[in-house]
Amino acid sequence: MTGKDRDFGLGTSLALTLGSALLWGVAHLAAHRHRTGLALMAAHVFLLAFILTMATVFSTHLLSLAVQPRWITALVVALTVLAATWTAVIVWSYTLVRPAGGGIAGRALTTCLTIGLCALVLAPTAYAARLAYLSRDVMHHLFAGNAGPPVMSEDPWNGAQRVNFLLVGADSAPSRPGVRTDSMTVASVDTATGATTLFGLPRNLEDVPLPSGPARDRFPYGFTGTGEAHPGLLNEVFQYAEDHPEVVPRAAKGQRGSTLLKETIGGILGIPVSYYAMIDMRGFAEIIDAMGGVRVTVDEPIVYGRYREGLLPAGTRRLNGEEALWYGRSRTDSDDYVRMGRQKCLLNAVAKQADPVTVVNSFENLATATKRAISTDIPQSLLPALVELSQKVKDSHIRSLSFVPPLINTAAPDWRLIRQKVSQVLAERPIRIAATTPRPTPTTPERPVALDATCR
């Protein structure tokens, strides 16, 4: 039975076509195709209920699926099928209720409405499919080649109570060959609760002990570098391993620097470092620009540039990528340790402000910047478990401890004291430290550890 048979007017045809786009089967019921109409209506209600349930009750599991390429591919296929089905229902509904009269203008109006409704369905679905494709591309680019221990679904962390990630900020420039890891932080995460402690290591630690094997055989009394131009600070270990593969013979090309740095820092802290993620600081600026800037509180004016060519005034402001880069890297009129604190505040601000709306709106630019800026050895198979762990971390308090003066003399570090402090902090229950709480100066291993103040 068609619109001609039922003698639907122009207004009724428009309303029924629109109603069928919002709830399948409305036009079919009006055309006395009750069985088909009820079936379409039930299918639509079931589909909407399924989507709503998955988005609310199983949101964490959805995030876990979103980092698995095969599920991303399945999502693209499902979105394509959904868009095609929805469009077919709209066109089908229109053919059933299109007006018998109305002249050319009426038919043109109903046709335009139908085409517009189809576009409203196809456009967001195509955009969602595009985001899924980009996400899959990022997953393959960053994680596809990474190997790791087998991941058991019952216990993805293979019995470990804590997992430790090395987070590295790398700085490179055309005038300075190689990569210097000027920002090094180990995030130690409780796999059961998500309680996290950040251990910050300054770039200028001297005579760092290297792991046993060829590296320690070459530097038995600590890393001393290659001469005056490279005096052997902690931030040079990564590039030294890349330039001298014989010190890490078991590591593949491109993994030597991260392997030696993880083992070196793990030895310094007395905890095993399982994975690393390194971000190039220039790429970090691109990521911040892609998300529309980052809002931070600048406590004191920050002068930046070798020739003091820039200034970040004090106050709460939104920084673009270039400004955020200088906020995190400038040492003019300050020092490495002040810079380390600002870097942690910057990372914290980016993490908090990267809300879902911002990420979706800037996803394509973020994906491009991420592929250029980040490298890691986290296995792709571990990503679902890592997403679930990150949700626990988000709900827990993050503590921070930096091994800087006066706690540690970077020219002659007390390695035993560092390991004692790490053990002490990890054994303590997390206690929230207010931003205004003064930091006591630790003098002995027995005294409570002074945790870094919280960023504002």
**What's the confidence (pLDDT) of residue 266?**
97
Q: Cβ(219)–Cβ(202) under 8 Å?
A: no
Beta bridge partners of 266: none
Cα–Cα distance for residue pair 20/13, rounded to 1 Å:
11
Predicted pLDDT of residue 298: 87
Q: Where are the alpha helices (DSSP H) in 201-273?
A: 214-218, 237-243, 256-269
The span from the CA of 30 to the CA of 41, in Å, is 13
| 153 neighbors 382 (Cβ within 8 angstroms) | no
373-391: average pLDDT: 85
Q: Say yes or no to pLDDT of 26 above 60.
A: yes
Query: pLDDT-based confidence at 445, cuts 50/70/90?
Result: very low
Share of the chain above pLDDT 90, in %: 35
More confident residue, 165 or 436: 165
CA–CA gap between residue 404 and residue 387 (Å, rounded): 32
Looking at the predicted structure, is the pLDDT value of residue 153 above 80? no
Out of 66-70, 154-158, 300-304, 445-449, pick the least confident.
Answer: 445-449
Evaluate the omega torsion of the peptide bond into residue 445 and state whether it is cis, within 30 degrees of 0. Answer: no
| Chain mean pLDDT for the chain | 82
Unique residue bearing structure tokens 């990564």: 238
Please indicate whether residue 5 or residue 345 has the higher confidence score (pLDDT). Answer: 345
Report whether 119 contacts 352 (CB < 8 A).
no
Instruction: Give the model's pLDDT for residue 146.
Output: 61
Q: Is the pLDDT of residue 149 over 90?
A: no
Count CB-CB contacts under 10 A for residue 63: 15
DSSP string computed for 285-322: HHHHHHTT-EEEEESS-EEESTT--EEE-SEEEEE-HH
Q: How does DSSP classify residue 380?
A: G
Reading the block at residue 131, the tokens are: 């985001």
Give the mean model confidence (pLDDT) for residues 18-34: 92
pLDDT of residue 68: 74
Res. 449: pLDDT tops 70: no
What pLDDT is stored for residue 43 in this prediction? 95
Q: Residue 284 has what pLDDT?
A: 81
Reply yes or no on whether the pLDDT at 123 is more than 70: yes
Report the pLDDT value the prediction gives residue 327, as an integer from 0 to 100: 87
Give the pLDDT of residue 353. Answer: 75
User: Tell me, what's the pLDDT at 258?
Assistant: 94
pLDDT of residue 300: 84
Kindly state the percentage of the chain with pLDDT values over 70.
82
Provide CB contacts within 8 A for 186, sequence distance 6+.
Answer: 164, 165, 166, 167, 198, 199, 201, 265, 269, 271, 273
- Give the full edge-to-edge strand order of the sheet including 162-173: 374-376, 275-280, 162-173, 176-190, 196-201, 398-402
> How many whole angstroms separate alpha carbon 352 and alpha carbon 346?
10
Identify which of 263, 328, 262 has the alpha carbon closest to the alpha carbon of residue 294: 328
Amino acid at 97: V
pLDDT digits (tens, 9 = 90+) for 255-312: 999 999 999 999 999 999 999 999 887 788 888 888 888 999 888 888 876 667 778 8
202-223 confidence digits (pLDDT tens): 999 999 999 999 999 999 999 9
Number of Cβ within 10 Å of residue 430's Cβ equals: 16
Per-residue confidence (pLDDT) for residue 400, from 0 to 100 = 87
**255/268 Cα distance (integer angstroms):** 20
**Given CA atoms 418, 424, 427, 432 in this order, what sign does their dihedral have?**
negative
Band of pLDDT at residue 1, cut at 50, 70 and 90: very low
* Residue where the block lists tokens 């600002």: 342
Which of 107, 116, 46, 108 lies closest to 87 in space, CA to CA? 116
Entry pTM = 0.74
